[in-house]
A and B are shown apart, each in its own frame.
Chain A
Amino acid sequence: MKKFWIATKDAFATFLHVPGTVTLKGAHVRDGVDLKRIMIIVVIALVPAALFGMWNVGYQHQLATGGGTAANILPNWWWGFLKVLPLYIVAYAVGLFIEFFSSGLRGEEVNEGYLVTGFLIPLIVPVTTPLWMLALAVAFAVIFGKEVFGGTGMNIWNPALLTRAFLFFSYPSAMSGSQVWVAKRASESFADGFTGATPLALDGAAQYSNTVWSQFLGTIPGSVGETSVIAILLGACLLLWTGVASWKVMCGSVLGALLVGWLGDIAGISAVPCWNQLIIGGFAFGTVFMATDPVTSAQTETGKWIYGFIIGALCITVRLFNPGYAEGMMLAILFGNTAAPLIDHCVVTSRINRRAKKLNPAK
């Protein structure tokens, strides 16, 4: 208990200020960057998507219950904020408690990685997710996805996606279908003609003004943070400009998605053109924020291209060929995480062998 207390106290103290510790070994000066700074950049990059997502929750609610317009920006946002806030509280409270506790057990400082994970989780689940399910999923993901491996930096899978995967397979009825994407009060009923389905479930068919523009803007049903491509692109700009996320992973993913989407177009099996695949569902959000997680993505620079490509290609493949799952991004990234060490192994081995051959041509 004392260890837990020390870790907690230390985490809050270092949250306020960079500690006055000095270098004891090795390089006597160190760069001003630390993980807190890198992580906070990711959180800032997520803010546009989060703010828009909150507004969209309110907007979708108004559309579904047959009232209001998009012009009610603040009321819509406030309505959504109150719906999303509990998700945040649960995600952070459960996750941080486990994180603090296990850091104390290991006798390490608390890693700031969960700041990002906790910010991501509410953005990738339907707004109607029951809080107890979320708490259970977060606990599962943080304990079995991260802490058993040794904490942030040691994990194989992205803990935020693992949370979503847990929900998806344990409580499918709360995670897919047509009823989960739009929040409403118990006393309210949906207006006539409302389906509530995402463009993916409808294979791009019209729901309200479900145009390309609204898909790009994000005024469609979906997980909280994933709908607005504009907000995601704002975050992507920050991540790429600061170099926190790898542009190679993002490019690879987009190329992979376009290639498979294009093949689908040629074969005549896709309902929407390949470029449209990029702006619906969780593709954009996953590519920008989830696939680029430096811990679970490929480590080598060449590997990042391959890793990104596999994720993009697999996502669209699932969308095109699997009738059971409307969306393939979550599983594509988790598969990419699993394959990343293998990709790296191939990249590293081939370069070492090539170099060895160059140095010892005789052998």
Chain B
Amino acid sequence: MSNKIVLTKGLDIPVSGEAELRITKTVAPDMVAVCPADFKGFIPRLLVKEGDSVLCGSPVLADKKRPEILAASPVSGTVKEVVRGEKRKLLAVVIASDGRNEALDLGVKSPEGMDPEQIKACILESGLWPFVIQRPYGIIANPADKPKAIFISAFDTAPLAASPEFTLGDRMADIQAGINALARLTDGGVHIGLNAANCSGTPFHRLDNVNIHVFEGRHPAGNVGVQISHVCPVTKGTVIWTVSLPGLAAIGARFNKGRYDVARKVAVAGPAVMEPAYVLTYPGAPMSTLASFFGNEDDLRIVSGNILSGTNAGKDGYLGFYDNSVTVLREGTEEELFGWLNPIRSKVYSQDRTAFSWLFSGRKYDMDTNLHGGPRAFVMSDGYYGKVLPMDIFPLYLIKACLAGDIDKMEKFGIYEVIPEDLALCEYIDPSKNNIQEIIADGIRLMLKEME
């Protein structure tokens, strides 16, 4: 029941520092943070105050508009600090861990006998609902909706991404339970995307109760948005839900074990990491707990997530709620003499044929954060960006519609189908160095505002 979809467009960025498939460290952080900024479409209301004691799974934040959506503490301990920024904006709830990891007992449940409302209530009260993301817009799903289908991508093609087989291969029972639960929330079934390179070898192809789709191609073939656009494109009025694999395992664990368990293996990778490998840790763990990987060097950028669409957490930041990789790069503040003219630049990669990187295929580059140029107006045509976007949309038209804030055109050119990460490669290859992901995010914000 699988069908193979070949995507010819895309690009695998050859960045060095891939994580070795072993756990070098189990990080038991003495504090973790729950950051509302991780959750898209979530207006936080604080449920705890400083000094309160919490367990794993105790609700910490609720959404102001849909109070049934909760965010929970990943560890047990006491609320140490509520960090606020300008205009008292809530930035983080810092929880000091007591190291015991006592969990709120949510009760072991079997999704088979439950009706959809009970399943939703189970996920909502456990604080795991933020793992359920809706398309369009890539925001936390509305529990009142009934999605057309639910999509899961079982592989990640982003540069230096964590291997799902390694990080979650030992949690197949939880993943299966998660699928069984989610399958009852939709009539369209749960769809899972596998990589053609290992579709028969991966444990994920043995999952039941799912529709399997096999994708062959370079990044962004592993993006769930790309997979949806080839199987069940999002149009106006339809809602599709997506869940990441770590989220699925956490939802499954809630049913199988009756507890909130978001501990996960995280790949620590990138050119500035000394021995790239995996750690076992929690979302919200401070980046300082990973300091042994990148030492005390100045001028480092610590990214929670991948190099294309992760967030710049900084040394004092925290691992994002959805991220299972941390990428460390050097800041590229060096000037490159005659970089635009020099025919062969041994240290700089370019996918463009005007550079000669294609002569050294297979080579990995120690990439840094240099912009490699200055910001310009868009000059290259739509097809230049289209070659890294395997979706049936015109990327430049969509970007320009977002820039113009023209709702009708954004709708027409496919704003419902994309989230910023889908156009991250367009941003990467753009010779005009525009911040395309930000443009798309602004477009989505405008849509949300107008559609209210």
Interface of A toward B, CB cutoff 8 Å: 14, 16-38, 40-41, 108-109, 111, 113, 150-154, 241-244, 246, 294-295, 297-301, 304, 348, 351-352, 355-356, 359-360
Contacts and interface: CB of A to CB of B under 8 A. Distances in A.
B383 to A, nearest CB: 5
Contact of A109 (B13, B15, B376): B376
A153 B376 contact: yes
A352 B416 CA distance: 14
B375 A109 contact: yes
A113 B381 contact: no
Contacts of B310: 28
B174 interface: no
Contact of B373 (A25, A34, A244): A34
B132 interface: no
A29 B340 contact: no
A294 B373 contact: no
24 contacts: A18-B339, A18-B372, A20-B333, A20-B370, A22-B301, A27-B428, A27-B437, A28-B369, A29-B307, A29-B329, A30-B372, A30-B427, A30-B433, A33-B429, A37-B341, A37-B354, A113-B379, A152-B376, A153-B432, A242-B352, A294-B381, A295-B379, A297-B381, A359-B235
Contacts of A22: 301, 331-333, 368-371
Interface in B407-450: 412-413, 420, 424, 427-433, 435-438
Contact of A37 (B308, B424, B431, B432): B431
A20 B332 contact: yes
Interface in B373-397: 373-384, 386, 392, 394, 396-397
A17 B377 contact: no
Nearest to B386: A301
Most buried by A among B329, B386, B396, B428: B428
A295 B382 CA distance: 10
Interface string B112-135: 000000000000000000000000
The SS class assigned to the B binding surface is loop
B383 A111 contact: no
A114 B429 CA distance: 22
Nearest to A13: B335
A237 B349 CA distance: 23
A242 B379 contact: no
A32 B349 contact: yes
Contacts of A33: 350-352, 354-355, 372-373, 429, 431
Given A17-B335, A153-B379, A23 B392 contact: no
A31 B336 contact: no
A31 B352 contact: yes
Interface of B: 13, 15, 233, 235, 301, 303, 307-310, 312, 327, 329, 331-341, 345, 348-355, 357, 367-384, 386, 392, 394, 396-397, 412-413, 420, 424, 427-433, 435-438
A348 B382 CA distance: 11
A113 B380 CA distance: 12
A90 B38 CA distance: 56
Contacts of A30: 370-373, 427-428, 430, 433
Interface of A is mostly: loop
Contacts of B331: 22
Contacts of B371: 19, 21-23, 30
B341 A28 contact: no
B216 to A, nearest CB: 22
A17 B333 CA distance: 12
Contacts of A35: 373, 376, 379, 431-432
Contacts, number: 203
Contacts of A41: 354
Contacts of A359: 233, 235
B358 to A, nearest CB: 11
A24 B333 CA distance: 12
A22 B331 CA distance: 7
A41 B431 CA distance: 13
A31 B332 contact: no
Contacts of A348: 394, 397, 413
A15 B311 CA distance: 31
Nearest to B330: A22
A34 B341 CA distance: 10
B15 A29 contact: yes
A14 B381 CA distance: 24
A134 B291 CA distance: 63
A299 B308 contact: no
- Name which of B13, B331, B431 has the most chain A CB atoms within 10 A of its CB: B431
Contacts of A111: 376-377
A31 B429 contact: yes
A40 B343 CA distance: 11
Contacts of B376: 35, 109, 111, 152-153
Contacts of A152: 376-377, 379
A83 B369 CA distance: 47
Nearest to B311: A28
Ranked nearest first, the 6 interchain pairs of A and B with the lowest CB-CB distance are A34-B373, A153-B377, A18-B339, A32-B350, A36-B340, A33-B352
- Tell which of A150, A151, A348, A360 has the most Cβ of chain B within 10 Å: A348
B373 A18 contact: yes
A345 to B, nearest CB: 10
Contacts of A17: 335-339
Contacts of A352: 412-413
Contacts of A24: 435
A290 to B, nearest CB: 15
Contacts of B329: 28-29
Contacts of B436: 26
Report which residue of B233, B333, B339, B438 has the largest number of chain A beta carbons within 10 angstroms of its beta carbon. B339
A111 B377 CA distance: 9
Nearest to B327: A28
A301 B235 CA distance: 24
Contacts of A243: 352-354
Given A19-B374, A21-B370, A294 B308 contact: no
B431 A34 contact: yes
Contacts of B327: 28
B353 A151 contact: no
B19 to A, nearest CB: 17
Contacts of A34: 340, 372-374, 431, 433
